[in-house]
Amino acid sequence: MSNAKTGDNVKIHYTGTLNDGTQFDSSAGREPLEFELGSGQVIPGFDKAVEGMAVGDQKSVNIPAEDAYGPRHEQMIQEVPKSALPDDLVPEEGMALRAQQPNGQALNLTVTAVGDDSITVDGNHPLAGQALNFDIELVAIG
């Protein structure tokens, strides 16, 4: 039986939780997640966890923030004047926005506060700065 290695297409079932037990994602009830091992399609710690597994193997791993979505960066939290927003946008806390960076790349933002004249947005990934726990089952290689 072969083990998963870089370049293999793999299919896995998983459940992701935070250290406090809060579940943030799961493939339960869905098709397994399919990705190419080592291609950067998933967080680095997830690639490392699946590498070497054989079909049918199950494991639980804790992935530190550095190997997940990285640390939180305070400079990614900014206050934006409401006058800079489109006229038809009514911002609400928790709302997802998308901005264009000077280099043309899209940046996903989350509205974290709404004031009278401005809003506060956070460009960090919602899971940045957190260790992630995954229960993983490799269901196919190939």
- Please give the chain's pLDDT, 142 residues, in tens: 689 999 999 999 999 999 999 999 999 999 999 999 999 999 999 999 999 999 999 999 999 999 999 999 999 999 999 999 989 999 999 999 998 888 888 889 999 999 999 999 999 999 999 999 999 999 999 8
**Please, are residues 112 and 77 in contact by the beta-carbon 8 Å criterion?**
yes
pTM score of the predicted model = 0.82
- pLDDT for 102 equals 85
Are 24 and 42 in a shared domain?
yes
Interior/surface letters 33-66, b for 16+ CB within 10 angstroms, e for the rest = bebebbeeebbebbbebbeebebebeeebebebe
The domain that holds 101 is classified in CATH as 2.40.10.330
Q: Which domain holds residue 91?
A: 74-122
Are 65 and 80 in a shared domain?
no
- pLDDT for 1 equals 66
Are 79 and 96 in a shared domain?
yes
Are 110 and 131 in a shared domain?
no
Are 14 and 63 in a shared domain?
yes
CA distance 117 to 80: 9
Are 13 and 54 in a shared domain?
yes
Are 65 and 13 in a shared domain?
yes
Are 90 and 64 in a shared domain?
no
- pLDDT for 104 equals 87
- pLDDT for 101 equals 81
